[in-house]
Structure 1
Amino acid sequence: MNALDLVDVGFSYGPRRALSEVGFHLAEGSFTALLGPNGAGKSTLIALLTRLYDLRQGEIRVCGYSLRQEPRKALANLGVVFQQSTLDLDLSVEQNLRYHAALHGLPGRLASERIERELERHQLGPRRHDKVRLLNGGHRRRVEIARALLHEPRLLLLDEASAGLDPASREGLNRHVRQLCREQGVAVLWTTHLLDEVRPEDNLLVLNQGRIIANDRAASLGAQQEGGLAAAFERLTA
């Protein structure tokens, strides 16, 4: 079973077409980069995947569950880190995690066990009682990823998760998410407009003007153009 299936997904803002016939599949445990210039439709796609926007054209299935027909089951398998932080800055790291666990209906003991696990996994134990506003950008992102994994989703969406981070923090976050993908078997969809966040072995989707114009290994796309992936991306999105 795939972690995510999209078939002929489309969306419009009034007369303006934002997405057209978007379709792809993500295997369980895979890391897939969704690359596109600003305005390509990445955030619209994330909004559809998370039901912030209503899906009116096409089909989205998360772990086999239709997002339209079985939204609760589909969303139960989905964890999300949005581009804009949604943490409560005046709550501690642990309080943010407990609030999220309560929203998902996790019993107290189970919530505590999972919070401890995520604090350890993301090396946040020493900061558990710190208010989020005291954390740097990289640590805040780790808190958001820890929160997104509390209910044990099989698919993790990260929408421009490295936005606003310095280069070292961006690299650390990228490496951390890939490690989670390998060790936990979580499928990851990582949206970005930055080529340096893509690795040669990645599954790579290129979105431009609302359409998927490439779906291949990053190394294969780079090999098709003199100048590598950067040249290939420039040609595809020109």
Structure 2
Amino acid sequence: MDAGLRVQDLSYRYGAKVALDAVSLAVEPGRFCALLGPNGAGKSTLFALLTGLLAAPAGAVHVAGHDIRTHPTRALARMGVVFQAPTLDLDLTVAQNLRYFAALQGLSGRAASGRIERALDRLGMAERANETARALNGGHRRRAEIARALLHDPAVLLLDEPTVGLDASARAAITAHVHQLARDDGLTVLWATHLVDEVEPTDELVILHQGRVLRQATAGAVARGAPLTQVFLDLTRAAA
């Protein structure tokens, strides 16, 4: 079964406003794909469609081989999501936040404890398991949310602007962690961002602007030796 993410001709409107216009992309297992676009490009709308929060009138989404329209439960079960807005219960400990999510996934007892321990260890958060989420800094809260998203062993990990509000060092650390997860665990990663410095040359890159895909290739191929920041600005200005 295909463990990747496939989006084909996905479109969406808010009334007369076109939010997405026939967007297609594909991300293979073990690959980190940066969805790069300025604010208002349609990134959050795309994530809402991928996660079933919105229903697309046209196009198709396949998660690990499952069509989200015809088999939504199967598709969503293979997906881990970190939304832009924080979602931890600040009055619970890190472990309690993860245990609550594990219960929603039907995991309990030793099975849940083992997965929580492994997930926190992978994100360098094991020593903070008993701290309340409120006591964590922004970077550690994000790591806890990523660990939570990995509890049910998803094939596809979606992250919508996960470093918003973090300082440069925290952004770099979290970006490096998720790149490593893709490489080590064979995860299919779609990472939405408006920050060019979060993209590595070997990443798959999809540039989204005004609801349309302007370019799709590896970041190195898109840049062709030029600074990616300048290439990104030139493409979006030309399409404006």
Instruction: Give the TM-score range, shorter chain.
Output: over 0.9
Superimposed CA distance per residue, residues 148-204 of structure 1 (whole angstroms, 9 cap, x where no aligned partner): 000000000010000000000000001011111111111111110011111111110
TM-score (norm 2): 0.96
Give unmatched runs, 5+ long, in structure 1. Answer: none
**Paired residues, what number?**
236
Percent identical among aligned pairs is 52
Give unmatched runs, 5+ long, in structure 2. Answer: none
* Contact 2:155–2:187 (Cα < 8 Å) also in 1: yes
How far residue 2 of structure 1 moved from its aligned partner, in angstroms, is 4.8
Aligned to 1:177: 178
Give matches, 1:1-238, under 5 Å.
1-223=2-224, 227-238=226-237
Structure 1 residue matching 2:4: 3-state secondary structure: strand
* Contact 1:10–1:19 (Cα < 8 Å) also in 2: yes
In structure 2, how many angstroms separate the alpha carbons of the residues matched to 1:123 and 1:71? 32
Structure 1 residue matching 2:230: 3-state secondary structure: helix
* Contact 1:2–1:25 (Cα < 8 Å) also in 2: no
In structure 1, how many angstroms separate the alpha carbons of the residues matched to 2:125 and 2:51? 27
Superimposed CA distance per residue, residues 28-82 of structure 1 (whole angstroms, 9 cap, x where no aligned partner): 1111100001100000000111111112211001011000100010001100001
* Contact 1:61–1:74 (Cα < 8 Å) also in 2: yes
In structure 2, how many angstroms separate the alpha carbons of the residues matched to 1:30 and 1:41? 22
RMSD: 1.0
* Contact 2:12–2:19 (Cα < 8 Å) also in 1: yes
* Contact 2:3–2:155 (Cα < 8 Å) also in 1: no
Residue type matched to 2:162 in 1?
A
How far residue 108 of structure 1 moved from its aligned partner, in angstroms, is 2.0
Residue type matched to 1:232 in 2?
V
In structure 2, how many angstroms separate the alpha carbons of the residues matched to 1:126 and 1:27? 33
Structure 1 residue matching 2:157: 3-state secondary structure: strand
